[in-house]
Every structure is written in C-alpha cells, then in structure tokens.
Amino acid sequence: MARGAGALSRGAGLAGAALVLAMLALPLAAILRAAGGGVRPGPADLSALWFTLEQASLSAVLSVALAVPVARALARRRFAGRRLFITLTGAPFLLPVAVAVMGLLAVFGARGWLNAAAGTLGLGPWRIYGLHGVVLAHVFFNLPLAVRILLQGWQAIPAERFRLAATLGLPPGQVFRLLEGPMLRQAVPGALAAIFAICLGSFSVALILGGGPAATTLELAIYQAFLFDSDLGRAAVLALMQAGLVAGAAVLSLWLTRMDGSGSGLDRASQRRDAPGGWRRGADALWLVLAGLFVVLPLVALVLKGLPGLADLPARTWPAVGNSLVVSLGCAALTVTLAGALSAPMARWAEGVGLMPLALSSLVLGTGIFLILNPVMPPARAALPVTLLVNVLMALPFCLRVLAPAWARAEADHGRLADQLGLRGLSRLRWLILPRIRGPLGFAAGIAAALSMGDLGVITLFGTEDRETLPLLMYRLMGAYRTEAAWGAALVLLGLSFGIFWVFDRMGGRDA
Amino acid sequence: MKHLALATGCLLATQAVAETPVLNVYTYESFTSEWGPGPQIEAGFEAQCGCDVVFTGVGDGAALLSRVRLEGARSEADVVVGLDTALMARARATGLFAPTEASAEYDLPIPWEDPDFVPFDWGYFAFVGEAGAEHPTSFEALAASDLSIVIQDPRSSTPGLGLLMWVKAAYGDRASEIWEGLADNILTVTPGWSEAYGLFLDGEADLVLSYTTSPAYHIIAEGDDSKVALPFEEGHYMQVEIAGRLAASDQPELAEQFLQYLLGAEAQGVLPETNWMYPVVLPEGGLAEGFQQIVTPDKALLLEAGEADALREEALAEWRAALAR
C-alpha cells in the first residue's frame, strides 16, 4: 500500500500522529507528575473494571450483530426515504448523553410508552434499570454507527460483483460466502473495537440505567477520584487501565482485520438490481422497521417533551447557540484536517494513533490540560479553546474510521492511473482523493460538528465566567428546577446537532 | 512599530482595568446561573465596594473544592462560595483558606462556631413525593414499603453524600441494615441532583432525595402545591453551605467585606428564592408564604465536620456492599 503515499503524505501523517500523541501523553504526564506517582487500585476499582468490560463487550457485540441485517437491508433495497432513514437513524449517536437517556426512558421507562402499551395487554411492567438497560442504551447510541460502518463496507463491494453474481444465478448463501462474508470479516472487528472503546468510557448512562453501585464503571471511579477525593494518583492509574483496555481492543481489531479483498470496480454508484425477493424482502423490511422504531421513538419523545419548553427559553439561549456553533464548526474543520493527515499515509500506525483518543476520557484530558495551563494562565480563560481541543480529540477516532478506508480505496482503485498521469502532492489530493472521498468527508465533518455541539465536556471542569454553550445552558436550567425550559433547550440542541450533521452530510453528496 | 503600539495599547488597557479592583469568586454552577443568587449578589456588592465582582461557576460543591485544590496557591480566586459541611474538613485540610472575622447572629438550628468558614444558607435533606398519598415517616417504614426512590451517588454528588451521612447519623452501626432494606426500593442512582429530580418529575419514581425546601420552589415559582417533602421521625440531616476566603488572595480586605456582605440582610434576602435554601439570618418580615407551607423537621441532624469526614470511607463501603448485590 506504499504506492501513492508520497513524502508529503507520510510527512502529514507523522505530524498528525505526533500532535495527537503529544495531546494525549502530556495531560496524562501532567496528572502523574502532580500526583507524584500512581496508587495501587483497590478491590472496588477492580470490580469497576469487570463491570466496564462486561457492559462494553455486550454492548459492542449486540450493536454489531443487530447492525448486520439492518445494513444489509439498507445496502440491497431501494425505497423512498432511504436516505432520510439513514440520516435520521444516525441521530442518537449525535445526542448529548443525558438528553438521549431521557428520551429512552420516555419509551422504555417505568412510565414509558412500552410499559403503558404492555399494561393495556396485561403484561409487564418491565424494568429498564440494570445491566440490560445499560446495554439497551449503548445499542441505541451505537447501532447507527455500526450500521454506517457496515453499510460503507457493503457499498465498497463493487456493484459489478453483485451483478456478476446475479448473472451467474448464485443463491444468497453463495453471495454471502463470496462477497459479503469477506467484507464483514474486514469491517466487523473495526466496528466492534470502536463501539467497545466508546462504551468503556460510559459513565452517566451506566450509572443512571445501571440502577446502582453494581453498575460502577472505570469512568465513574475516575470521576470520583478526581472530583470527590482529589486523588490524582488513583485517577491516573485508573485512566491508564482504561487506556490499556482501549489499546488492547484496537490492536486486536487491527490484527483481525484483513486487508481489502473486494478488488477494484468502475467507480459507479451501487445500483442493486440483484437483491433477492420473496421472504427475504419481507425480512429486510421488518429489520428496517424495527431498527427505525427503536431509534426514532425516543427522538419523537424528546421532541414532544421539548416543544412546551421552547416558550420558556431565556434570552441567553441565542448567544449560547452562537458559542456552540463556533465550537462545533471549528471542531469539524480541525478534526477533518487531522483525520485527513492521518489517512494520507494509508498506514496502520497512523490509523492506530488516530484511535488512541478513545482511550482517554475528556475528564482525564481536561484535568491534565488544566494542570498544564494553571502555572501559565487562569484556566477559566481558556475554557472554550480547551473545550474545542478536547472535542477534536474525542471526534477524531470516528472521523478517521470513516475517512481512512475511503482514502485507501480511492488510492487502491485509481492510484495507478494517477501515477501514470504523474499526479502528486496537492494536485493528487485535489483531483484524485477529494472527489472520491466527498461522501465520507461530509459524513465525518457532520459527526465531528454534531458530537462537539452536544458535548458538555470539560467546560464545567474549567468553569466559565460568562461564555456558555448550549449544553451548559441546559445543564444550568436543570440545576435551577427549570426542567421544562431545559427540555426546550434540549430540543434546540437536538435540532442544531442534527441540522448541522445533515448539512455536512448533504454537502458530501451521494452514498453513505 | 505596529507591534510596539499594540503592546502599549494592551498595557494601557490592563492598567485602566487594574484601577478597579477585581474580586474573583468561585462558586458552583447553579449559584452563578441567571436563576441563581449570583447575579443579584454581584450587583449588590458592586454597588457598595467600588470593585468588579467576577463569578466563576465550577460544577458542584465537590468539583469546586477539587478545582481550588488543583489550582493551589496560584488560584485567582479570592473567595469560594458553595462548599458545604460535608466538604469542610477536607477544605480546611488543604491549608488554602484564611481565617475570617465575618459573622452574624445566625438563625441556625445548631450553634455555629468556626474560625475559617461562614455559613450562608442551609437546608434539610428530605425525600420529596407527590402530595395526597400515604407516605412513610421513617427510613424503616420506607424500606418496608414498595415505593420506588431515586437517589444520587455519594461518590459524585453532595446530596448523595448527605443521604449517606443522614443514615449514618440516625442509625450508626445499623446503617448497613437500613441500606439493605432500602436496596429494593432504589430504582436507580444518578450522578447528580438534576438527573434524579428530572426522573422524579417524569414520574419514573415515587420519591426523590432532595430538600425540604424543594416544594417551596414549586409553590412560589410555579403555583403548584402538588409536591411535598416527607417528614422523618429520625430527624433530618442538614446541609449547611459555607463560604471562605483564600489565604493567597491579593484582595484580602475586599474578600472579608464580601463574606460579611453575604451574611447581611440584602444577600440573605436574595438566597431563599434563588437558591431555594433557608437563609442563615432570617429577614425581618420572615420568609415568603411558600416557605411557611412546607414541612419543618422537629429534629436536625448534623455530624461534626471532622467526624463526618472520618466516617465517609466506612459509610461508602457499607453503602456499596448493601446495594451492589
């Protein structure tokens, strides 16, 4: 794969990787230095470790397993509103966690729609709180991500292959064995690792839906060590444990992932006329309806809850919207640039480094940066830039997952042609890469912008004088008994996150 | 030349600002929000001090203390408002706080004598539920009932820690047993107060751990008297919110004046209907009507700060063991 990765690409990759590693290592080093070394984890920390592993593994496996039939249905069926369906089902991933949990509870909670419906049939009541609730919420958040990753895999199989298979009259089982199976073997480990890593960092979801201290995650233990015990040594050791788990998952997934075996095609949009009919059509429809309802109902609940609160929104909502937009757009631009730099060398090491931010929580990063800034300037003055920086790091792994394969594919499919034309450096980027990664690029920018928009992140850690973001405003409204207005703010946030994602995704144009 | 002009401009601007002394006050988020007491207290003190008060909001009380510790002697903060009795021993142990002379004739249910910190408001922890239902009147009755409750995690929230201390103060060695009894009533545990209160308002649980003063908010701000706090026979654990000034402050006199202002009639009058807690000095005309309607416990419980801090580890372990099953 070294072909096409010229000196410029390698340079960009190295610079990007160095930047990311520095931004991760320095904060952690600052914490260890301030702590004067680590502390051995206690038994409570170890049980937190086990619960964290348990819930993250279950969540990852279930999300990906459910994503396979949904992504396949999306890949081989064409229907009115398919595009909208794909965009809408992406929404949970972009939502602020606290908001999404409330949406889930409106559907699955003790007084939720599901229990109300079950009650009229004489069933239930079902209790959402417990390990199953945590996993349910994580699947809600990550199913769309898994579907998108797998759908990209399906769409990367050249349409000619499917047509050939159809011409030869291959049954669906054979199509799976020859075309879909190899693609899944390549895409699934990456999806599993990404979702596993995301779920490792779960804190509010695990606690609220987990039902009590049995559902203590490492992230909560880190939070407690930092904020309640001011025990930096223990926090640093816990953060290292968490980082070790993520690194392990990343290495495992890179090891399991085979290189692209689907070969090159003619660069045409997949027009599948070969999809199997009969009961498989019905099964595909059922999967789509179920996944759609699962993802969309909580969103509908959020909209219904938010509408009455819109009238109560304070005047300062609009400056907060402005601040959030600035952070969000800045995050999108920076993250996509960084992800591009790491995609350019098309090397495993660059991708591996790009996934590393998943390993450190924003709390750890924020505290580390705080300790670095404190001797130089009052950290509160840097609240927005630091929020931006942390958001970029947090969004990078997702953007990279989307961008890197598309980049490598563009090179693999057309690199030889570009070499013959002598396309190099920036003109290669302009004429070869960018037109072919437009879709993933728009999607990646959308993810970064929306994730950043909804993130409360480190801004509360740094404290603010008067610059507030929309999530912070929502948090303040909730803290001041203004629950209804807080729901209004959540609805605005939902609309903005989703809107900005939609705009970027649309700018990317066709395909996933 | 341009750079020099720019630099000089900046320098002059800084000097112009420096003529008005700045008092930096760190507090928790909800204190400084538009609906909290922060804006009115800032305006009130600025009107008399000839200074600029800058509030910085940081998470909750625990996050606030952690922040002050992290910043250490380099902290810009002159005053910290919003720690509480559960955090007091640890705050004192940092050695970052300076003694204060500020004081008042406190209307607290307990005597207050402390060299470093002044109390500025207080409340009783209580379970809040819907009015009209038959409610339990003790932890034991609650544990025997099939009511569902939402509480906050004592490892991440001050009310959560308050409940831990409440059970410990009321039951001592029997605390474990009480928690085991409550285990099947606890629907879930949230990271902070707002998530728990939100779940309760959504109807997810019958009761939520909050304050006896919570219903006053609903009565006064929303004209809604459907929420009530449950009086418990064991008595109610108190949360006294405190303020102190930092030894490293470059405005020690202003800081001292601010603490005194916080105890004065003007600031005390602002607190009840913005922070929804009791003032430490009752206003001359008494509290608003909504505060008269709410439950007032017969017995106040509060562990001495050092004792509470010493018991924390043990109480936390009991809590975790009883609920982790």
pLDDT single digits (tens) A330-379: 999 999 999 988 888 777 777 778 878 877 878 888 888 888 988 888 77
Using one digit for the tens of pLDDT, what is the confidence trace for A401-427? 788 878 888 888 877 777 777 777 777
The structural domain count of chain B equals 2
Find residues 100-139 of chain B whose CB sits inside 8 Å of chain A: none
Cross-chain Cβ contact A110/B148 below 8 Å? yes
Interface test with A, best of B26, B60, B66 (most A CBs within 10 A): B66
Cα separation, A402 vs A399, in Å, equals 5
In this predicted model, what pLDDT tens digit does every residue of B129-160 receive, in sequence order? 999 888 999 999 999 999 999 999 998 888 99
For A214-234, what is the mean pLDDT?
83
Give B76's contacts in chain A (Cβ within 8 Å).
378, 380
pLDDT at B25 (0 to 100) = 95
B233 plus B145 within the same structural domain: yes
**Which CATH number covers residue B98?**
3.40.190.10
Q: Do B65 and A230 touch (CB under 8 A)?
A: yes
How many whole angstroms separate alpha carbon B284 and alpha carbon A390? 50
* Same domain assignment for residues B212 and B305: yes
**Chain-chain contact of A102 with B198 (C-beta, under 8 angstroms):** yes
Pairwise CA distance, residues A198 & B49, whole Å? 50
In this complex, do B186 and A212 lie within 8 Å of one another by their Cβ atoms?
yes
Looking at residue B93, its pLDDT comes to 92
Contacts of A111 in chain B (CB under 8 A): 202-204
Q: Do A475 and B29 touch (CB under 8 A)?
A: yes
CA A301 to CA A414: how far, in whole Å? 46
Asked if B39 reaches chain A (Cβ–Cβ under 8 Å), the answer is no
Residue A106 confidence (pLDDT) above 70: yes
Task: Give the DSSP per-residue string, A84-124.
Answer: HHHHHHTHHHHS-HHHHHHHHHHHHSTTSHHHHHHHHTT--
Q: Region A179-184: what's the mean pLDDT?
A: 84
Q: Is there a single domain that holds both residue B96 and residue B225?
A: no
pLDDT band, very low/low/confident/very high, at B227 (cuts 50, 70, 90): very high
CA distance B323 to chain A (A): 6
Mark which residues 350-389 of A lie under 8 Å from B by CB.
367, 370-371, 374-375, 378-380
Chain A touched by B85 (CB under 8 Å): no
pLDDT value of position A170: 81
Q: Is the confidence at residue B79, as pLDDT, over 70?
A: yes
Q: Which residues in A347-502 belong to E strands, given as ranges? A: none
φ, ψ of residue B207 to 5 degrees: the values are -135, 155
Residues of A whose CB is below 8 A from B84? none
Most confident of A179-193, A227-241, B55-69, B91-105: B91-105
Q: In one letter, which amino acid is A430?
A: R
Q: Do A213 and B56 touch (CB under 8 A)?
A: no
Give the residue on A whose Cα is nearest the Cα of B274. Answer: A480
| Contacts with A228 from chain B: Cβ below 8 Å | 62, 66, 155-156
Asked if pLDDT for residue A84 goes beyond 50, the answer is: yes
For domain A1-36+313-512, which architecture applies?
Answer: Orthogonal Bundle (1.10)
CB pairs A-B closer than 8 Å? 152
Q: Are B220 and B252 in a shared domain?
A: no
Work out the minimum CA distance from A75 to partner chain B, whole angstroms. Answer: 39
How far apart CA A175 and CA A165 sit, in angstroms, is: 7
SS3 content of chain A, % helix, strand, coil (to 5): 80, 0, 20
CB contact under 8 A, A463 and B58: yes
Q: Does domain A38-296 have CATH number 1.10.10.10?
A: no
Chain B residues with CB inside 8 Å of A483's CB?
Answer: 197-198, 201
Using a CB–CB cutoff of 8 Å, tell me whether A42 touches chain B. Answer: no
The angle at the Cα of A261, spanning A258 to A264, to the nearest 5 degrees, equals 145
Q: Quick one: pLDDT band at residue B278, thresholds 50, 70, 90?
A: very high
> Where does CATH 1.10.3720.10 sit in chain A?
1-36+313-512, 38-296
Residue B234 forms part of a structural domain: yes
Q: Which residues of A touch B67 (CB under 8 A)?
A: 461, 463
The pLDDT mean for chain B works out to 90
Residue of B nearest to A381 (CA): B56
Residue B265 sits in the same domain as residue B158: no
Query: Do residues B141 and B209 share a domain?
Result: yes
B chain contacts of residue A379, beta-carbon cutoff 8 Å:
71
B42 touches chain A (CB under 8 A): no
On the question of pLDDT at A190 being above 90, the answer is no
- Chain B residue with minimal CA distance to A487? B198
Q: Is position B132 within any domain?
A: yes
Q: Give the pLDDT mean for A101-127.
A: 85
**Chain A residues with beta carbon closer than 8 angstroms to that of B325:** 214
Q: What's the gap in Å between the CA of B235 and the closest CA on chain A?
A: 25
pLDDT at A406 (0 to 100)? 82
Between the alpha carbon of residue A445 and those of residues A166, A351, A451, A454, the distances in Å are 36, 17, 10, 14
Question: Pick from B187, B191, B218: which is nearest to A129 by CB?
Answer: B187
- Cβ pair A211:B186 closer than 8 A: yes
B89, part of any domain: yes
Q: Could you tell me the pTM of the whole model?
A: 0.84
**CB pair distance less than 8 Å for B66 and A460:** no
Judging contacts by C-beta atoms under 8 Å, the chain B residues touching residue A201 are none
Residue B7 falls inside a structural domain: no
The CA–CA distances, whole Å, from A78 to A274, A438, A448, A460 equal 11, 22, 28, 45
**Which of A60-69, A91-100, A293-302, A437-446 shows the highest mean pLDDT?**
A60-69
B220 and B306: one domain?
yes
Neighbours of A123 (CB within 10 A): 11
The mean pLDDT of chain A is 82
Identify whether residues B20 and B127 lie together within a single domain: no
Q: Which of residues 150-209 of B touch A (CB under 8 A)?
A: 153, 155-156, 183, 186-191, 193-195, 197-199, 201-205
Q: Does any domain span residue B283? A: yes
Query: What confidence score (pLDDT) does residue B194 get?
Result: 87
Q: pLDDT over 70 for what percent of chain A?
A: 91
Q: Which residue of A has its CA nearest to B54?
A: A465
Query: pLDDT tens digits, residue range B122-131?
Result: 999 999 999 9
Contact list in A for residue B68 (CB cut-off 8 A) is none
What domain range is B188 assigned to?
123-238+293-323
Q: Residue A271: is its pLDDT beyond 60?
A: no
Q: Does residue B187 sit in the same domain as residue B312? A: yes
User: What ipTM, to 2 d.p.?
Assistant: 0.80
* Cα dihedral: A482, A483, A489, A494 (round 10): 170
Confirm if A227 and A463 have CB atoms less than 8 A apart: no
Write out chain B residues lying below 8 Å of A463, CB-based.
Answer: 26, 56-59, 67
Cβ contacts of B165-169, under 8 Å, gap ≥ 24: B165/B86, B165/B237, B165/B303, B165/B308, B165/B311, B165/B315, B166/B125, B166/B236, B166/B237, B166/B301, B167/B139, B167/B315, B168/B303, B168/B311, B168/B315, B169/B237, B169/B301, B169/B302, B169/B303
Interface touch A207/B35, C-beta < 8 Å? no
Contact residues, chain A, for B59 at CB < 8 Å: 227, 460-461, 463
Pick from A204, A464, A478: CB nearest B57? A464
Cα separation values, B153 from A98, A227, A263, A415, B191, Å? 16, 13, 53, 56, 5
Question: Does residue B8 sit within a domain?
Answer: no
Identify the band that residue B2 occupies on the pLDDT scale cut at 50, 70 and 90: very low
Interface of A with B in 67-106 (CB under 8 A): 98, 102, 105-106
- Of the candidates B29, B34, B55, the beta carbon closest to that of A314 is on B34
B82 domain-assigned:
yes
B230 or A430, greater pLDDT: B230
Does residue B36 belong to the interface with chain A, where contact is any CB pair within 8 Å? yes
Whether B4 is covered by a domain: the verdict is no
CB-nearest partner of A228 from B155, B201, B221: B155
Interface of A with B in 211-270 (CB under 8 A): 211-214, 220, 223-224, 226-228, 230
| In a shared domain, residues B177 and B301 | yes
Q: With contacts defined as CB-CB under 8 Å, which chain B residues touch A226?
A: 66
Pair B194, B313 in one domain: yes
> Does residue B32 share a domain with residue B136?
no
Query: B62 and chain A: CB distance < 8 Å anywhere?
Result: yes
